[in-house]
Amino acid sequence: MTTAPTSASAPGSAPGPAHTDEPRWLNDEEQRVWRSYIEASTLLEDHLDRQLQRDAGMPHLYYSLLVKIAEAPQRRLRMTELAMLAKITRSRLSHAVARLEKNGWVRREECPSDKRGQFAVLTDEGFEVLRRHAPGHVNAVRQALLDRLTPEQQKSLGEIMEIVAEGLQPSEAGADLPWLR
């Protein structure tokens, strides 16, 4: 529940700033924005996932991992850095990379300076998979999101999402972030 309960279920509640022990309920406009965001982000991720499953035989997450590795110098990334870039747990990354290895798109290499560390390396076959399927994926992104927005809306959306992402990545020691789990 993100909206305020009815007055019958919340006696004595008054509009305005909430006490520290009371929730700050969403007003009608905030509720509309929140639900629109949830619906759109869920549908967008599903749309992109279905497109990549259909055309490339992989989920959106796997495609994103391949892109991140392809963009790295020498098409190789430390697994810990890849988990951070993908915003996923190390366990989930390990499972995904195992599947990508099975397909021959990625290989793991030991890190010479850290016996516990590993690199994910994009194979030539993996690079070819990206090259072949990138046009369809870009088309799906454009059709589902970017072409529906004006240039000004695109800029605003980018700025808003950067603010949200920045706020969700605390820098203090011990922060509970997926790639640290």
pLDDT (tens digit per residue) in 82-112: 999 999 999 999 999 999 999 999 999 998 8
Q: Which of 72, 77, 66, 143 is nearest to 104 (CA)?
A: 66
Question: 52: how many CB neighbours lie within 10 A of its CB?
Answer: 21
153 token code pair:
């809306």
Q: pLDDT tens digits, residue range 12-54? A: 444 555 557 889 999 999 999 999 999 999 999 999 999 999 9
113 token code pair:
């300076």
The pLDDT, as a whole number, for residue 10 is 44
The pLDDT, as a whole number, for residue 30 is 97
Mean pLDDT of the chain: 89
| pTM for the full predicted model | 0.82
CA gap 51, 47 in Å, rounded: 6
Q: What is the mean pLDDT of residues 126-142?
A: 97
Q: What is the mean pLDDT of residues 145-154?
A: 97
For 59-97, letters b (16+ CB in 10 Å) and e give bbbbbbbbbbbbebeebebebbebbbbbebebeebeebb
Bridge partners of 106? 122
| Residue scoring higher pLDDT (165 or 127) | 127
The pLDDT, as a whole number, for residue 12 is 44
Q: Is the pLDDT of residue 115 over 50?
A: yes
